[in-house]
A and B are shown apart, each in its own frame.
Chain A
């Protein structure tokens, strides 16, 4: 139970912070205010700023205090091409001028992003999609690696995800696309738009990227009336906000209404469900695997009334309008638009690649570089992952040993 209302908490917070800012609560030698400003935890002695100046000293191989182009290009080839460059190639690279080296780094990135290792089936881009798609091998449909119980072919989800991440496509299309993507090996993997592929049954006006694929509906909605899991998984997987960890909380006044009588108005439940339930309402007409073969995995107007009307007295009142980030949306497509255009989407997308290429989330010292990256991803780079990566590999965070 929360002891303070949101308003009381907000009102008292500035004074509380002022009262403790000069203290060193965790005894790590750094004042609370300094820790907050640098992004470390003032209550955890093991978390403290580590902006130690780069040490002096020679190093025969690495330029440890600044961007080292040879180090960066070798790392880049391992990261994106999958294997180390040859000695001969590194020697040629080393002999180039700085400007030529920088240009070569860009060329290498583009070449490596064309490899199967990067873009192919089960390649690195696919691997970034695993925790968004959440496959289960024995439940897979489709002609490849067919499962025992074929709920849906999640390779379609991977294909759309990969398409959105490659070739200067708009990354937002993973949430907003009204098309599907096919994959072919000719001899390397290519991804192509398609408006009609087998077993994808949601009609064109109601499609919204990986939110409405057969797999997403089958697995995340499945038999449930109000698809809370589908909404939460989309929020978590694509926006990086895990409601179960109290992230991305935008409680809507007078919610939850508990239309489906799951008991979510209990005090323990409302703190999450005041955000989650309105987040889920726009999913209400997207059917999982309830009903006949002609009804499953589709947009069904009045789905709740048709299949779940007798489950709870007020269940048919579930609206199609909902809320995301406190903003009212009229349906799932609008939900997807708001989500895709949000800062959270940009942070999550760029964060995925940052973690992939750095091996860890941004440190406080790297925060400025990270913020610049995701802000430009939204603006100057037009949601192109390729363009963003070209900037990322030029950061000190990546290229300084």
Chain B
């Protein structure tokens, strides 16, 4: 099939018009938000939600941990990265997705491997060169890397995506991000921001959590900050204090007395609305996030920030330097936003990741159609390209987090308190035509996942893959001992490992003690 390349990005004249150059009081705020949120919980809620919630007030002094989920959408294969197999190492090497020996790199002092790919991606009739250097990433970050084998339970994209976040319902169907928001997020204005796609965007199945635990969906991270203040950026409005008077009148007099509100007083949606527009809204606006999260530069006439009384973030220059394509590449924009959300103590959990759309960036391929799932057509090239993309963004994000002090006294960085979990739908089938270097693959339960954090037991592989079949086998989550007989799903182990590494109290969940994941067991 011939595929036409019009060079025209989808959506919209704005992207073309916007030609861009390369862009504490917290304690008191936390207390205000904490108080508001605690007031919403009944004794039954506290019992159901567990000791983590009941003790949350005491834990306000507990140092928060941060989770960034990078959704490697479409199926990122671990045997095309950190558990790659050389053809000579497998008795079935020619029929399995093994690599030429020279392409698989060992990393000194590490069980982790890397695939340094130099080939192409076949995009229909177009052959696009792909050069990917995973070994540089592993060499740089190995001490913060943990790779665990994974056997999942679905080969349906949307289902599997969600299960990669819920551990297949390991803890009442909650997502990892919701768990983190429940543990640490009460004092944060938007504890959980979700910029993912499809199944990664869905809430978990536990709809009894406090509403702040659920993800705030964001489609366009570069423009989203414009909506973080009810007034700023709109010309000729009354003074803020007067707007607050009107809000108070509406909230305390007009609405409560209206027949409509009284008639539908049982509505959960109205109750949620009242909560959302109350103190939480004021707290959010008081943080000046419309500035702090804005990395758009002032570039009239397309971005007339100054004219509208707005300004770019104090961090805009360094963030734009790290992610120069933040506006044209959503994934870079999401990563930029993720850094700022953590740095400004807005969120504890952020989800980012490419979607299925094709991206052309300055005439070059930025994202193949279907992201990792283009492996159906050209497995090797797609995996190399997309892993390069994921690791490139992760590397720059880690750089920003490492350079950001966590606070004024501890001497630690924001990275020291953060984790990146590279979630993915599933693995890919392991077979290939005899000796083929270009082939397509389907979906497969067997895979592995990457965790990046100074809190994980770094430079570690838990479980592994069989040289005979390339299929994953599991491990003891407590000791880390590989177990070649453990070939059924181990979602819970990974789910527990992530939560325990992030010091989330999972009492009552029945999750295994996954100390094998933790640097400090």
Contact = CB atoms under 8 A, between A and B. Distances in A.
**A and B touching (C-beta < 8 Å)?**
yes
A62 B377 CA distance: 59
B357 interface: yes
B111 interface: no
B110 interface: no
B8 interface: yes
A2 interface: no
Contact of A136 (B2, B7, B9, B357): B357
B356 A136 contact: yes
B11 A137 contact: yes
Interface string B376-403: 1100000000000000000000000000
Interface string B1-21: 111111111110000000000
Contact of A46 (B208, B260, B263): B208
Contact of A147 (B10, B123, B153): B10
Given A62-B259, A138-B369, A149-B3, A232 B10 contact: no
Interface in A347-384: none
**Which of A140, A149, A232, A268 counts the most chain B CB atoms within 10 A?**
A149
B442 A139 contact: no
B440 interface: yes
A222 to B, nearest CB: 6
B213 interface: no
A60 B263 CA distance: 10
Contacts of A62: 259, 263
Contacts of B260: 61
Contacts of A245: 159
A59 B11 contact: no
Contacts of A137: 10-11, 357
Contacts of A145: 10-11
A146 B8 contact: yes
Nearest to A310: B433
A293 B360 contact: no
Interface string B249-292: 00000000001100110000000000000000000000000000
Nearest to B11: A137
Interface residues of B, number: 39
Nearest to B154: A244
Contacts of B4: 149-150
Given A61-B263, A224-B376, A148 B445 contact: no
Interface string B281-307: 000000000000000000000000000
Given A145-B10, A148-B8, A60 B359 contact: no
B219 interface: no
B501 interface: no
B358 A147 contact: yes
Contacts of B358: 138-139, 147-149
A318 to B, nearest CB: 15
Contacts of A151: 369
A140 B358 CA distance: 10
B263 to A, nearest CB: 5
Contacts of B154: 244
A59 B262 CA distance: 9
A293 B2 CA distance: 7
B377 A223 contact: yes
B263 A138 contact: no
A150 B3 CA distance: 7
A289 interface: yes
Nearest to B151: A268
Contacts of A232: 156
A136 B158 CA distance: 15
A401 interface: yes
B135 interface: no
A224 B488 contact: no
Nearest to B260: A61
Interface in A295-345: 296, 310
Contacts of A18: none
Contacts of B6: 146, 148
A247 to B, nearest CB: 12
Interface string A142-165: 000111111100000000000000
B10 A148 contact: yes
A67 B435 CA distance: 71
Contact of A293 (B1, B159, B429, B433): B1
B314 interface: no
A293 B3 CA distance: 10
B246 to A, nearest CB: 22
A187 B241 CA distance: 47
A64 interface: yes
Contacts of B1: 289, 291-293, 296
**Which of B1, B208, B358 counts the most chain A CB atoms within 10 A?**
B1
A138 B368 CA distance: 10
A244 B156 contact: yes
A64 B260 CA distance: 11
Contacts of B377: 222-223
Contacts of B3: 149-150
Contacts of A138: 9-10, 357-359, 369
B413 to A, nearest CB: 37
Interface in B410-461: 429, 431, 433, 440, 442, 445
Contact of A139 (B264, B369, B433): B369
Contacts of A263: 429
Contacts of B429: 262-263
Interface in B339-364: 356-360
A148 B376 contact: no
Contacts of A223: 376-377, 440
Contact of B263 (A59, A224, A244): A59
B124 interface: yes
A149 B488 contact: no
Interface in B120-158: 123-124, 153-154, 156, 158
Nearest to A61: B259
**Which of A148, A150, A291, A293 counts the most chain B CB atoms within 10 A?**
A148
Nearest to A52: B266
Nearest to B269: A359
Contact of A149 (B156, B158, B264, B369): B369
**Which of A140, A223, A232 counts the most chain B CB atoms within 10 A?**
A223
B357 A139 contact: yes
Contacts of A401: 263-264
A64 B263 contact: yes
B248 to A, nearest CB: 25
Contact of B9 (A148, A244, A261, A268): A148
Given A61-B260, A224-B376, A243-B156, 12 more contacts: A46-B208, A61-B263, A136-B369, A138-B10, A139-B356, A148-B9, A148-B360, A149-B4, A149-B124, A223-B377, A244-B154, A262-B442
27 contacts: A59-B259, A62-B259, A62-B263, A136-B356, A137-B10, A137-B357, A138-B9, A138-B357, A138-B359, A138-B369, A139-B357, A139-B358, A145-B11, A146-B8, A147-B10, A148-B7, A150-B3, A150-B4, A223-B376, A232-B156, A243-B156, A244-B156, A244-B159, A261-B431, A262-B429, A268-B445, A293-B2
Considering the complex of A and B, which 10 residue pairs feature the smallest CB-CB distances, nearest first? Answer: A244-B156, A138-B358, A244-B159, A138-B357, A137-B10, A148-B358, A61-B259, A289-B1, A149-B358, A296-B1
